[in-house]
Chains A and B, each alone.
Chain A
């Protein structure tokens, strides 16, 4: 492993690209964004948050799921908050069928107690099965956003199609957990 002295006679003639001009061109490009008037699309998680809130209106829980008619409907979020607080902001002061909506961030399995809806964020793929096992048949509507969420026994799975948020529904899993999903919601779901 050696360098041999002057094995490759160095030539000092070098070709040069018009570097400066390229930089100038790019700067010019930067200067003329027509961006300021561009329509801003909401991020997918804001739309998912709205869906999560709506799902509560289309699902009937077993009567023992609520202590009384005024007790809160708890939406659990598992994983680093992908909504960045938007879900809380959205449901603040809202009721579903008389139940005030409460958001709870789930860190450990015991936190799941009393949840009505559980959203498992995609970064938690890998733990979804364990969570589903823990909450299945416990009357919790499980919502995910992973490829095989439905196959793993999840109830509602978000998918993105053509830049729009859609969802798949696994009604068998919901029924097994004692949940009654309204036919309207089922009709809107995509085939899993």
Chain B
């Protein structure tokens, strides 16, 4: 793939590579592996169906200007660019996000085939790919503009504080399957990279406001301007007020929340060879919660507390790209990220600093080499309480990493092999090696027929690890024991916690049989070992000995499944995008692990998921979008399978003004999508909701 290119922030998509016409077609170039801080990209879409014969060119060159203007052309679309990527990848574009009416990132992620997104309550989501979904799903790496936004505390994401202004997002890239070869630990079952727009693309004013039943009210404002000829900037601020979700009986649950955020970004093209980006954000949030099942030493030995969480954070990032030539560049990035969360049951302050470097160059005619180095340090301070404590209560963790990858054109334009490995050192488990190999085969790339030339096969074998989190290494929790009061139930993490390990085998196939139809299939077999387990240290023996448990690494097993998705532009004004996801999990416990966890983990991810997206364009700037989705049952939470429907009606009134109304969960008054698994906030259901929005740009 000669058009694979590393780009500063995007995993796959070079911002430079975008062409407005391509964007309009929702097209984005993709490639699959990127480094933690940065990314690999297809600059120009691969020639896809664009196969020329001498006769074609001769006839074009002999045409008059008028005739040329009448030639209908094919514009490189997503399928043609994604199709040259040897991994299961999807892109959600800004247009997709807008037309879905998504007001937060998890809602936008529902558009991605193969992702399992479940809302727990008003401010909490469980998001995973290929199984293992959980309140603190820990096998997905999530980045925003190259900055890691999962927390080393439990290797998951606090989704409530990832509320960047939706209008700033350029696109979201999602890889299902491991990306550890370049991204390193935690990129086990997938990688999500949220890429915001460059400041040059957000010039002028944008003001947006609205509200509804669940989204009680929100306001976004952004202004972008120029500094001299070569630099652009933007500043933005956003505030949102969310109602609580509902209790099974229909009353509002106690989980309403508010967030305020502001930030800036400056992009400077200093010279043709050097480009800089400086950006930063700050936020503060308030979440009302009720936490149940806590231990109390006095009757009734269990307690439910009203807990007002306060969240705050700030980050600043600088990025420098130096271009040596078309095929060689150097990227250096540094960021500092501060997060804090104050609650009665949990109180943490965390500072992270990250520095990374990445160099790409062509070697001979056939090799495209990328290598990089990285250093990350994170320091936390935990305020221990009677329910949850950490020992030690303050800690610094260092992570050193390096990677090398070579993409080798075995047969030019037909067959390429990408080999690489990440090598990293962390304080818990020492050195981890994460190698991988990917094969891309486009056997009929030169054929003159789209149905043949667009056919792409890929296969990969890769190893990934999830390194221990702070929680697994050093926590202690004291919860109520409902069976043997007045005893508590005490759980411990362990210093001996090992990395969870994955060997992943994947195959994929893509084809665009018709100009208006593209298909994407991926299948996987994942072999896991040393998964987190729990063992019993002491059984409850009233009146003295409580149930005491300890974490271990004694679950193992495999998962298999696949995803099929299609894009069908039936007419100029109507597009359908069906997708189907299948997952089968087979986990086992070996002694001394408690086997009861196995069905609970297996029963927390849907076996079957189906979705059908419809996008319609009507005259006078009216658009109508709807997503019908099916989620299989979740036995762990006794949640039955369900169909749900989200819809949005949009009207672009003129160049400056747009209005929309979005309805979510339209088929049911309310229903549960997931349940708390880690911190026992109220078990709530998600109600039908309606939200209106007006956006003004000038």
Among A10, A184, A185: residue with most chain B CB under 10 A: A10
Chain B residues with Cβ under 8 A from A3's Cβ? Answer: 491, 534, 597, 600, 677-678
Report whether A42 and B56 are in contact in the complex, using a CB–CB cutoff of 8 Å.
yes
Q: A10-B600, A46-B50, A46-B52 are in contact. Are A41 and B16 (CB under 8 A)?
A: no
Judge if B545 is at the interface, Cβ distance under 8 Å: no
Report whether B60 and A49 are in contact in the complex, using a CB–CB cutoff of 8 Å.
yes
Chain A residues with Cβ under 8 A from B71's Cβ? Answer: 41-42, 47, 164-165
Judge if A159 is at the interface, Cβ distance under 8 Å: yes
Q: Which of A32-40, A59-67, A68-76, A172-180 lies at the interface with chain B?
A: A32-40
Judge if B608 is at the interface, Cβ distance under 8 Å: yes
Who on chain B is nearest to A40 by CB?
Answer: B450
Q: Which of B209-217, B239-247, B631-639 lies at the interface with chain A?
A: B631-639
Chain B residues with Cβ under 8 A from A58's Cβ? Answer: 65
Report whether B200 and A126 are in contact in the complex, using a CB–CB cutoff of 8 Å.
yes
Which residues A1-56 have CB closer than 8 A to chain B?
1-6, 8-17, 19, 22, 26, 30, 33-36, 38, 40-47, 49-51, 53-54
How many whole Å from A185's CB to the nearest CB in chain B?
7
Chain B residues with Cβ under 8 A from A159's Cβ? Answer: 21
Contact of B50 among A34, A84, A91 (CB under 8 A): A84
Who on chain A is nearest to B325 by CB?
Answer: A107
Report whether A80 and B513 are in contact in the complex, using a CB–CB cutoff of 8 Å.
no
Judge if A166 is at the interface, Cβ distance under 8 Å: yes
Which residues B437-452 have CB closer than 8 A to chain A?
448-451
A163 to B22, CA, bound (A): 11
Report whether A165 and B603 are in contact in the complex, using a CB–CB cutoff of 8 Å.
no
Chain A residues with Cβ under 8 A from B633's Cβ? Answer: 14-15
Judge if A98 is at the interface, Cβ distance under 8 Å: no
Contact of B44 among A82, A130, A188 (CB under 8 A): A82
Number of interface residues of B (CB under 8 A): 92
Who on chain B is nearest to A11 by CB?
Answer: B635
Report whether A14 and B635 are in contact in the complex, using a CB–CB cutoff of 8 Å.
yes
Judge if B251 is at the interface, Cβ distance under 8 Å: no
Q: Which of B89-97, B119-127, B471-479, B644-652 lies at the interface with chain A?
A: B471-479
Q: Which of B73-81, B175-183, B414-422, B460-468 lies at the interface with chain A?
A: B73-81
Report whether A50 and B608 are in contact in the complex, using a CB–CB cutoff of 8 Å.
no
Chain A residues with Cβ under 8 A from B640's Cβ? Answer: 15
How many whole Å from A134's CB to the nearest CB in chain B?
9
Which residues B584-632 have CB closer than 8 A to chain A?
594, 596-597, 599-600, 603, 607-608, 610, 632
Chain B residues with Cβ under 8 A from A188's Cβ? Answer: 65-66, 69
A191 to B693, CA, bound (A): 33
Report whether A40 and B449 are in contact in the complex, using a CB–CB cutoff of 8 Å.
yes
A42 to B632, CA, bound (A): 44
A159 to B198, CA, bound (A): 22
A106 to B668, CA, bound (A): 60
Number of interface residues of A (CB under 8 A): 74
Chain A residues with Cβ under 8 A from B44's Cβ? Answer: 80, 82, 121, 123
Judge if A125 is at the interface, Cβ distance under 8 Å: yes
Report whether B635 and A4 are in contact in the complex, using a CB–CB cutoff of 8 Å.
no
How many whole Å from B249's CB to the nearest CB in chain A?
20
Contact of B52 among A22, A42, A146 (CB under 8 A): A42
Chain B residues with Cβ under 8 A from A84's Cβ? Answer: 47, 50, 52
How many whole Å from B275's CB to the nearest CB in chain A?
7
A30 to B419, CA, bound (A): 31
Report whether A146 and B635 are in contact in the complex, using a CB–CB cutoff of 8 Å.
no
Judge if B57 is at the interface, Cβ distance under 8 Å: yes
Chain B residues with Cβ under 8 A from A86's Cβ? Answer: 52, 57
Judge if A129 is at the interface, Cβ distance under 8 Å: yes
Per-residue interface assignment for chain B, residues 473 to 491, with 1 indicating a CB less than 8 Å from any chain A CB and 0 otherwise: 0010101000000000101
Chain A residues with Cβ under 8 A from B24's Cβ? Answer: 160
Chain B residues with Cβ under 8 A from A13's Cβ? Answer: 635
A67 to B72, CA, bound (A): 39
Contact of A165 among B52, B68, B293 (CB under 8 A): B68
Q: A5-B534, A5-B549, A10-B636 are in contact. Are A17 and B20 (CB under 8 A)?
A: no
Judge if A113 is at the interface, Cβ distance under 8 Å: no
Which residues B369-400 have CB closer than 8 A to chain A?
388
Q: A4-B479, A42-B71 are in contact. Are A126 and B16 (CB under 8 A)?
A: yes
Report whether B54 and A89 are in contact in the complex, using a CB–CB cutoff of 8 Å.
yes
Report whether A5 and B68 are in contact in the complex, using a CB–CB cutoff of 8 Å.
no
Report whether A8 and B47 are in contact in the complex, using a CB–CB cutoff of 8 Å.
no
Chain B residues with Cβ under 8 A from A34's Cβ? Answer: 514
Who on chain B is nearest to A162 by CB?
Answer: B72
A2 to B70, CA, bound (A): 66
Who on chain B is nearest to A44 by CB?
Answer: B73
Contact of A122 among B22, B54, B230, B513 (CB under 8 A): B22
Report whether B65 and A185 are in contact in the complex, using a CB–CB cutoff of 8 Å.
yes
Judge if B538 is at the interface, Cβ distance under 8 Å: no
Among A4, A9, A80, A185: residue with most chain B CB under 10 A: A4
A107 to B273, CA, bound (A): 11
Contact of A22 among B198, B272, B580, B603 (CB under 8 A): B580
Chain B residues with Cβ under 8 A from A131's Cβ? Answer: 272
Contact of B72 among A2, A122, A164 (CB under 8 A): A164
Report whether A126 and B275 are in contact in the complex, using a CB–CB cutoff of 8 Å.
yes
Report whether A43 and B449 are in contact in the complex, using a CB–CB cutoff of 8 Å.
no
Which residues A105-160 have CB closer than 8 A to chain B?
107-109, 121-127, 129-131, 133, 145-147, 159-160
Contact of A163 among B72, B346, B608 (CB under 8 A): B72
Chain A residues with Cβ under 8 A from B641's Cβ? Answer: 15
A15 to B633, CA, bound (A): 7
Who on chain A is nearest to B19 by CB?
Answer: A122
Contact of A1 among B269, B271, B475 (CB under 8 A): B475
Report whether A36 and B50 are in contact in the complex, using a CB–CB cutoff of 8 Å.
no
Q: A38-B451, A109-B272, A164-B69 are in contact. Are A129 and B637 (CB under 8 A)?
A: no
Mind listing 15 A-B residue pairs with CB under 8 Å?
A6-B596, A8-B636, A10-B636, A15-B633, A33-B451, A33-B513, A33-B514, A41-B71, A44-B75, A86-B52, A107-B326, A108-B272, A126-B269, A130-B271, A165-B73
Q: 13 new A-B pairs (CB below 8 Å) besides A10-B603, A188-B66?
A: A5-B489, A5-B534, A5-B549, A43-B47, A44-B73, A51-B65, A86-B57, A89-B57, A123-B17, A125-B19, A130-B230, A145-B20, A188-B65
9 closest residue pairs by CB, A with B: A122-B19, A43-B50, A35-B451, A10-B599, A33-B513, A160-B21, A2-B477, A44-B73, A35-B513
Residue positions of A touching B, CB distance < 8 A:
1-6, 8-17, 19, 22, 26, 30, 33-36, 38, 40-47, 49-51, 53-54, 58, 79-80, 82, 84, 86, 89-91, 94, 107-109, 121-127, 129-131, 133, 145-147, 159-160, 163-166, 184-185, 188
